[in-house]
Amino acid sequence: MNTMNSTKNILSIAGSDPSGGAGIQADLKSIAAAGGYGMAAISALTAQNTRGVRAVHVPPAGFLTEQLLAISEDISIDAIKIGMLANAQVIDELGTWLAQIRGAAGTAVPAVVLDPVMVATSGDSLLDAAADAALRRLFVHADVITPNIPELAVLARSPEAADWDSAVSQARMLAAEYDVLVLAKGGHLDSERCRDALIDADGVLLEVESRRHATGNTHGTGCSLSAALATHYARTGNWGTALRHAKDWLSDAISRADELSVGSGHGPINHFAGLWDGIRPAQAHDPLAQWWERISPIRAGIDELGFIRALKDGSLAREDFEDYLGQDALYLRTYARCMSRAAELAPDTESQRFWAASASGCLEEELKLHRGRLDERVPEPSATTTAYLNHLLAASHDYAVLAAALLPCFWIYQDTGTRLAAANHEAHPYTDWLATYSSPEFDAATAAAIDLVAGVHAGADARARAAMWRAFEASSAHELAFFAQTAADAPGAAAGPKRAAGLGLAGAAGHGEPVPVR
Ligand SMILES: Nc1ncnc2c1ncn2[C@@H]1O[C@H](COP(=O)(O)OP(=O)(O)OP(=O)(O)O)[C@@H](O)[C@H]1O
Ligand SMILES: Cc1ncc(COP(=O)(O)O)c(N)n1
């Protein structure tokens, strides 16, 4: 028994998301991030990841009651967050338990935030269509309900709100019908700012807003917001204050979602970004690890390319592979020149040797591989290849910037190659190519290049560091565009070597005149 603890006990009643981004997993993280003690009673099991929901298993509804009673007979509950409920039976079991604990004499009544989860971000249904009436019966036990725009429309029996004013008026109707506070959320609207408002029958009580962060990693934002709201309410006793805290934290967690690297679909938000700043000083002081995290959307984009997937499973058309190798051969010639230039500019012998050896190795080994496959045919450089090479040549005036610009070719190839190599086998049509980029020698060269750039970064001033990051990021975007330039990813593009990536990679493709590559 713990009597000295003023920490609030928060119970999440929700579904499980094994990938950790939504459901009880998101709730427990959000509760902890908000300073609460988290508990979880599981209403349903999902098999899902960042790409979608594959299956749902709902345990017998009575077992939810078993879990709830085990908690409420022992532990004082300060607030409850309710999420996915799956079907009417589960909802009714929960309603019975809520009526019991909210009506019990002599105990404090826990606040209840109900997130009426109906459909996942991926579009998969998480609530039986027949459960609508049961869900509405549950509202009597809730203090706040937090529907998103489509859920609000279903509950208000109206067409989906296309603007904020319509969302507010639907929320107001709902608040009046069920005598409950409604948190209207603008995440699904097509607006620059993300507005949310706490609304009762008379109108808006409080509106909060944040910048709309440019990320696809918003899986579980609704779960996280409602769990944080319940926790902050238990701590402060004020819905307005609780919403302000929850929204500020959520906005930060969304803005730093891309620092995580979880899955290739809609990834989770970064629940502990603020906390980790304090307890992961090594990470915070490892700038190259931060660069690597910051380009995670680019890396995810490469993994998703049709070219990479076809290369992995061996289904890539030979013509596409040869188109790619042709561009790569052109690229490597100038890349080797740029490494020679880095050797020339290098401030110490060791760095000079590294770049010179890499330039030589690049010409000997990689062009040998290409010649074997390309039969000495050398194509014209594509606009995408040209743009990447122009970027490297433009960086060649400054050693620090050039070193940073050269790094993604090592690092991204090594990283992508490691995953491609896992699919390699003797009969793979591109087996020698896959083997080259996943060799221990290439791993060692990549590690040496990272160390070398980290050393340059450590000795650079703030301005030079910013320029290094920009060069690294731009090269990474060029890597993505380079991989994306085959027919596998640009089916509508004109055939031939000039086809540019059709992926909206503005700034990374199609600029400038061809560079002298020979
Ligand atoms: N890109 C974004 N940038 C900033 N805030 C966002 C973004 N997307 C959503 N939000 C915020 O996240 C919260 C949840 O919003 P949303 O309307 O998407 O609910 P939801 O659909 O229930 O969430 P989800 O289904 O993604 O878990 C709201 O506070 C919303 O304003
Ligand atoms: C178990 C569970 N609960 C809720 C959601 C909704 O979250 P999102 O809309 O972000 O997919 C989910 N996907 N899984």
Q: Which of 30, 81, 121 to mutate to test the pocket of ligand 2 (most atoms within 8 A of CB)?
A: 121
- Which atom of ligand 2 lies closest to the CA of 15? 1
Q: Verify whether ligand 2 is closer than 6 Å to residue 223 (CB atom).
A: yes
pLDDT in the model for residue 365 = 66
Calculate ∠ Cα 53-55-57, nearest 5°. Answer: 125
At residue 286, the pLDDT reads 82
From atom 18 of ligand 1, which residue's Cα is the shortest distance away?
187
Can you tell me which residue has the tokens 């002298």?
Answer: 516
pLDDT at 493: 39
Counting every residue written for the chain, the total comes to 518
Residue in 30, 221, 269 to alter for ligand 1 test, most ligand atoms within 8 A of Cβ:
221
> Is the pLDDT at 431 greater than 70, yes or no?
yes
Residue nearest to atom 4 of ligand 1 (CA): 212
- Other beta carbons less than 10 A from residue 445's beta carbon: 18
Position 20 confidence tier, pLDDT thresholds 50, 70, 90: very high
Summarised one tens digit per residue, pLDDT across range 389-399 is 999 999 999 99
CA of 102 to the centre of ligand 1 (A): 30
**Helices 462-483 & 318-345 angle (0-180, nearest 10):** 160
Predicted pLDDT at 502? 29
Confidence at residue 13, expressed as pLDDT on a 0 to 100 scale: 98
Has residue 463 got a pLDDT over 60? Answer: yes
The alpha carbon of 220 and the centre of ligand 1 are apart by a number of angstroms equal to 8
**Which whole-number Å values give the CA distances from 96 to 24, 64, 93, 180, 493, in the listed order?**
21, 11, 5, 19, 60
Judged by average pLDDT, the poorest of 303-317, 325-339, 401-415, 434-448 is: 434-448
Q: pLDDT value at position 258?
A: 85
Mutate to test the pocket of ligand 2, among 16, 146, 151, 223 (most ligand atoms within 8 A of CB): 223
Quote the pLDDT of residue 280. 61
440, 434 Cβ separation under 8 angstroms: no
2 HSE (CA, 13 A, CB side):
8
Residue 347 DSSP class:
S
Distance CA 95, CA 97 (A): 5
Average pLDDT of the residues in 483-504: 50
| CA–centroid distance, residue 13 to ligand 2 (Å) | 13
What's the CA-to-centroid distance between 375 and ligand 2, angstroms? 53
Nearest alpha carbon, ligand 2 atom 13: 120
pLDDT digits (tens, 9 = 90+) for 43-88: 999 999 999 999 999 999 999 999 999 999 999 999 999 999 999 9
Query: % helix / strand / coil in the chain, to the nearest 5?
Result: 55, 15, 35
- Give the containing element (helix H, strand E) for 229: helix 221-236
The answer to whether 134 touches 160, Cβ cutoff 8 Å, is: no
Q: Is the CB of 316 under 6 A from ligand 2?
A: no
Mean pLDDT check: name the lowest of 285-289, 353-357, 390-394, 466-470.
285-289
Return the percentage of the chain with pLDDT > 90, whole number: 66
* Average of per-residue pLDDT values in the chain: 88
- Ligand 1 atom index nearest CA of 150: 21
Compute the Cα dihedral for 418, 423, 429, 432 and give only its sign: positive
Pick from 104, 74, 81, 79: which is nearest to 23 by CA?
81
CA-based nearest residue to 308, from 219, 421, 403: 421
Residue whose CA is at the smallest distance from ligand 1 atom 8: 187
Inform me whether the pLDDT recorded for 146 exceeds 70: yes
User: Is a pLDDT exceeding 60 seen at residue 426?
Assistant: yes
In this predicted structure, what is the pLDDT of residue 430? Answer: 87
Candidates 305, 235, 287, 332; CA nearest to 7 is 235
Q: Which atom of ligand 2 is nearest to the CA of 119?
A: 9
Per-residue pLDDT reduced to its tens digit, 171-193: 999 999 999 999 999 999 999 89
Say what percent of the chain tops pLDDT 70: 88
Structural domains of the chain ordered from first start: 10-275 (3.40.1190.20), 286-483 (1.20.910.10)
Rounded distance from Cα 23 to ligand 1 centre (Å) = 14
432 vs 147, more confident: 147
Asked which of 137-141, 393-397, 507-511 is least confident by mean pLDDT, the reply is 507-511
Catalytic site positions: 185, 218, 220-223
The tokens describing 96, both together, are: 């019975």
**Does the pLDDT at position 32 exceed 60?**
yes
Residue 44 CA: nearest ligand 2 atom is: 1
Tell me, using a 6 A CB cutoff, whether residue 118 lines ligand 2. no
User: Read out DSSP for 11-76?
Assistant: EEEEEE-TTSSSHHHHHHHHHHHTTPEEEEEEEEEEEEETTEEEEEE---HHHHHHHHHHHHTTS-
| Token reading at 393 | 């040549």
Q: Can you tell me the distance from the alpha carbon of 217 to that of 255, in angstroms, rounded to the nearest whole number?
A: 9
Cross-strand partners of 46: 56
Express each pLDDT in 112-132 by its tens digit. Answer: 999 999 988 778 888 988 899
193-200 β-sheet, strand order = 52-57, 37-49, 9-16, 79-82, 111-114, 144-145, 181-185, 193-200, 203-211
- Going by pLDDT thresholds of 50, 70 and 90, the confidence category of residue 26 is very high
Separation of alpha carbons 133 and 88, rounded Å: 8
- To test the pocket of ligand 1, the residue of 149, 195, 218 to mutate (highest count of ligand atoms within 8 Å of its CB) is 218
pLDDT-derived band at 350 (thresholds 50, 70, 90) equals very high
Distance 55 CA to ligand 1 centre (A): 24
In DSSP terms, 47 is beta-bridged to 55
> Using CA atoms, how far apart are residues 335 and 319, in angstroms rounded to an integer?
24
